[in-house]
Structure 1
Amino acid sequence: MNRRLLLSHLSLILLVLLALEVPFGLVYARSEQSRFASTAEQGAMTLAEVCEDKVERGLATDLPEFARNYARRTGSRVIVTDRRGVVMTDTTRATTAGTDLSAEPDIATALHGGPTTGTRTDPASYGGTLFATAPGGSGNAILCAVRTLYPLAAVARKERAMWTALAVVGLGVLAAVTLIGFTLARSITRPVRALERATAQLSDGRLTDPPATDRGPPELRRLAASFTRAATRLQHLLRAQQAFASEASHQLKTPLTALRLRLENFEPHLAPCAQDSLDEAICEVERLSRMVQGLLALARSENAAITPEAVDLDAVVADRAAIWAAFAGEQHVDIAVAGAKAGPVWAVPGALEQIIDNLLSNALRVSPPGTAITLAARTTPGDGGRTPPVVELHVTDEGPGMTEAERQRAFDRFWRAADAHHDGTGLGLTMVQQLTRASGGEIALDAAPRSGLDAVVRLRPARASATRNGSAALPEIPPPHLCSTDSNRSMIEGSPGRQP
């Protein structure tokens, strides 16, 4: 922002300088040339009058010496011709005496009584030559003609000196304006930079250095004051939410546990016909307990500021597949690991394990016996600029799958398909999406090629040499138990609906 303000300021000053200095330089150069030409013309006319007087008095032999004196005094070249245009003397002796110049335009004009001034190119003279030709006499009594030639190098030197002076003045003005503009830009943007730092701190979870409200322009001071009030209010709300999440986890566990124990104590005293109702009540209490714990874990994960780190995706996939193989075997479902090695990816600590656990739990719940669940990793190379490389983890089952409408709503909290037959709370995929986004990735649900669902987790690849950064631990998501009389398995909470 400083650079933009400074460039805009300098651009305006540069335009002003150009608008002032260029016309001034052109006018000065034109006036200097006009003054020089006028002086040369006056000198030529004066010299012609003197030469006419000498010719008229028969002192033509004095003309060479007189012309040389004049040429030395003025730094010019003098050529004097008689009334026929024949050279009488040339101070440089470049034109010999007796040469006829009557055909040259300026001499011809002078012999007819008219003065002439102009410039001509002279290779021996830098910048050309100014000539001034005047008649010696008037009317029909023209006794001689005088041509004076002045090199324009002196005028060119004056013009160059003038342009140099203007350039130095302009650079000095630009330097002074740059210093002043940089100081002003920093003073104007200092509150903006303070707001930027405060915003970065707030995004990390805590505002430790609020922006000053007594510096900068009035608009920025008001903005800083409004931001500080909003940040203070937001931090208060976050602390209140965090305090609720930590306290409610203790306050809600005790009554739910006591309620389950009391229900279980009824079992010896109930008639056999009421046993099914008791089992259903206990199952609902367990489901309520899982839902409460899932909500608290989700709240803690949303409030925590967690930094992603490099995690070996291949190792985590192999570990979770080995752990879930036993549970899958009880349902006669295979868990297969396919695809090439993906290497390390960026993920928050513990998130990758929980993501895979939730997706495998969901897939296992809907997989018919004799089918398989496949975990496959694949690296999608980027285009070298606009699209970065991505590592995709596919968790594919062979269950009934989901419709397009169900896949769009699957990440909503508490949503479950109308034909769901398990006791899920509808928070599994919400937590998976939260953990994936906290890791800098995305998750999508696609239809499997044959049948079932393909859950695709896209994460950023990390270099193999990436170091592990210190970061806050992810809040533990307790594994709720499946309420089933046929199994004692403990699983991670599943997603809403028929699929994760």
Structure 2
Amino acid sequence: MRTRLLGMVWFLVALLVFGLGVPLALSVAGSEQQKLFLDRLTDTNRFASMAQRPLTDDSADSMVEELQRYAELYGVAVLVVDQDGNSKVGSGRAGGSVQVDLTSEDVRQQVQRALAGRRPVSGALLLPWDDTPLVLAGPVLVDGEVRGAVITVSPTASSRTRVVWWWLLIAAGGILSFALALMLAVPVIQWILRPVRRLDEATGSLVAAVVSGRDTEGVGDEQGPPELRKLVRSFDQMAASVGDALAAQRAFVADASHQLRNPLTALKLRLVNLEGHVDVDADDHRVAAAAEADRLNRILDELLAMARAENTGGDLVPVDVDAVVAERVAEWGVVADSREITLSTAGSVGRTRVMAPARGLDGILDALLDNALKFTGSGSAVVVSVEQVSTRVLVGVRDHGPGLRAGELERATDRFWRSSTHQNVPGSGLGLAIVSRIVARTGGDLRLDLPDGGGLRVTVELPTQI
């Protein structure tokens, strides 16, 4: 936007400079032409007055000395002709410069006008690149009758030189105007765009804050035009409202999950205590109700975990990847052994640490290992791999369960989504959603793929400590 605004300013300045400079340049050229024309017209009229008697008395040679001195002094050639257009007396080569050529089209036209009794005109505009001399022809009148004409041919070099200098001065003024416009436009445009730039930065930070559960930061910029300052204040109010609404939503989920656990636990105990105290036909319903209570309790636990993951705030801390992986594999090894599943690790990153929320990597591994062990059958294996690639650490969990269809990989991180082939496996569909939120908080990436040999591989990419 800054470049476009500067371009608009320069375009407007260019219009102003050309709109004023070109007419001014043409006016200067016209002024110099008019000055030269009036000066030569005066001399032409003077010579026309001097030639009245010599042409009447047929003694034009008496003007030779006067014409030659004028030509040597001013470099202007002068020629006197009679009423038939025949040359009577002239100044010669005008000090070695131009001379009067009666065969020239321009001279011939001017002579015809003068012999017709018409006064000379200024002619075309004087331009620096046009070296055509100025030709004037004035009639010699005796008692109102045309007896001849006086022709002057003037070089225009000095006038054209003055025009060039004037044009250079005008061009320098235009360049100076461009420079001043740039010097003035840059700070003004920066002042105008400062709130826009701050709004753009605040929009990006708002998205990051919403994803990570952190408090939103207002723009709070009181610089710039009043309209943009009002927009900034409206944005701050909107960001605060969005943050409060999301915080209230997450708090409600966390509070509801926590508060419902006690009555669910009591309900489960009552259902257990009813064992042996209900009819045989009704005992199946009691068992089913207890199973549903267990399922609901697991859902509440995962909802609470999701709320905690979304509300994870504070700064990221360095985490020892190998240590956390070894600890969680050891903890889940008991579950794997009970289900006759081999749980192992592959790879190492040594002392490399990643940046994650406190106990964030623990939560990621717990959710991934829980899913892997649920979907992997007895006698199979689950492998936790660790690898460093440049400034990223890749932590992967590979199982050999039924996996997913290729078209289901993108939906696997949605809340409460479960594949149609997994409906008979306990779970709520929140595990990968929790992992996705924690990974987003770290600025990492989450990938799912279907490796050769079946199963599912979930890879978490986390940034290393700088």
Question: Which TM-score band applies after superposition, normalised by the shorter structure?
Answer: 0.5 to 0.7
Q: How big is each residue's C-alpha offset from its partner over 1:122-166, in whole Å with a ceiling of 9 and x where there is no partner?
A: xxx997362325478689965x96543233333442454256347
2:29 matched to 1:26?
A: no
Tell me the residue number matched to 1:77: 76
> Distance between the aligned counterparts of 2:63 and 2:443, measured in 1?
102
2:381 matched to 1:372?
A: yes
Give TM-score, length-normalised by structure 1. 0.64
Q: Which residue, 159, 162, 169 being the options, matches 1:157?
A: 162
1:431: how far off? 0.7
Tell me the residue number matched to 1:414: 416
**Contact kept? 1:191, 1:215, Cα under 8 Å:** yes
2:366 matched to 1:351?
A: no
**Contact kept? 1:80, 1:146, Cα under 8 Å:** yes
5+ residue gaps, structure 2, are none
> Distance between the aligned counterparts of 2:238 and 2:121, measured in 1?
84
Tell me the residue number matched to 1:237: 245
Tell me the residue number matched to 2:173: 168
**Contact kept? 2:322, 2:349, Cα under 8 Å:** no
Change (3 A) 1:366 1:150: same
> Distance between the aligned counterparts of 1:352 and 1:76, measured in 2?
98
Q: How big is each residue's C-alpha offset from its partner over 1:178-237, in whole Å with a ceiling of 9 and x where there is no partner?
A: 748965883x6576567567656755443565759999556974x566545544544443
1:434: how far off? 1.8
Q: After superposition, where does 1:37-436 map in structure 2 within 5 Å?
A: 37=37, 39-41=39-41, 43-47=43-47, 49-50=49-50, 53=53, 58=59, 60=61, 63-65=64-66, 67-69=68-70, 72=73, 75-78=74-77, 80=79, 89-93=92-96, 128=131, 130-132=133-135, 134=137, 146-158=151-163, 160-161=165-166, 164-165=169-170, 168=173, 171-172=176-177, 175=180, 179=184, 183=188, 186=191, 204=209, 205-206=214-215, 221=230, 227=235, 230-241=238-249, 243-244=251-252, 247=255, 251-255=259-263, 287-305=295-313, 320-321=328-329, 324=332, 327-330=335-338, 331-337=340-346, 347-376=356-385, 393-404=395-406, 407=409, 409-416=411-418, 417=420, 420-436=423-439
> Distance between the aligned counterparts of 1:423 and 1:402, measured in 2?
16
**Contact kept? 2:47, 2:150, Cα under 8 Å:** no
**Contact kept? 1:341, 1:377, Cα under 8 Å:** no
Tell me the residue number matched to 1:443: 446
What's the RMSD between the two structures over aligned residues? 5.4
1:282: how far off? 6.9
Change (3 A) 1:413 1:183: closer
Change (3 A) 1:311 1:79: farther
Give TM-score, length-normalised by structure 2. 0.68
Larger helix fraction of residues: 2
Q: How big is each residue's C-alpha offset from its partner over 1:479-498, in whole Å with a ceiling of 9 and x where there is no partner?
A: xxxxxxxxxxxxxxxxxxxx
Which is worse superposed, 322-331 or 103-112?
Answer: 103-112
- Three-state SS of the structure 2 residue aligned to 1:455 is strand
5+ residue gaps, structure 1, are 382-388, 468-500
> Distance between the aligned counterparts of 1:27 and 1:8, measured in 2?
28
Change (3 A) 1:214 1:172: closer
**Contact kept? 1:328, 1:364, Cα under 8 Å:** yes
**Contact kept? 1:87, 1:101, Cα under 8 Å:** no
- Three-state SS of the structure 2 residue aligned to 1:399 is coil
Change (3 A) 1:400 1:339: farther
Tell me the residue number matched to 2:14: 14
**Contact kept? 1:191, 1:211, Cα under 8 Å:** no
- Three-state SS of the structure 2 residue aligned to 1:443 is strand
**Contact kept? 1:85, 1:108, Cα under 8 Å:** no
1:29: how far off? 2.6
Q: Which amino acid counterpart does residue 451 of structure 1 have in structure 2?
A: G
**Contact kept? 2:80, 2:88, Cα under 8 Å:** yes
1:366: how far off? 2.5
**Contact kept? 1:306, 1:348, Cα under 8 Å:** yes
- Three-state SS of the structure 1 residue aligned to 2:155 is strand
> Distance between the aligned counterparts of 1:432 and 1:276, measured in 2?
37
**Contact kept? 2:51, 2:60, Cα under 8 Å:** no
Change (3 A) 1:71 1:136: farther
Percent same amino acid among aligned pairs? 29
Q: Which amino acid counterpart does residue 33 of structure 2 have in structure 1?
A: Q
> Distance between the aligned counterparts of 1:215 and 1:135, measured in 2?
68
- Three-state SS of the structure 2 residue aligned to 1:132 is strand
> Distance between the aligned counterparts of 1:380 and 1:34, measured in 2?
81
> Distance between the aligned counterparts of 2:422 and 2:217, measured in 1?
50
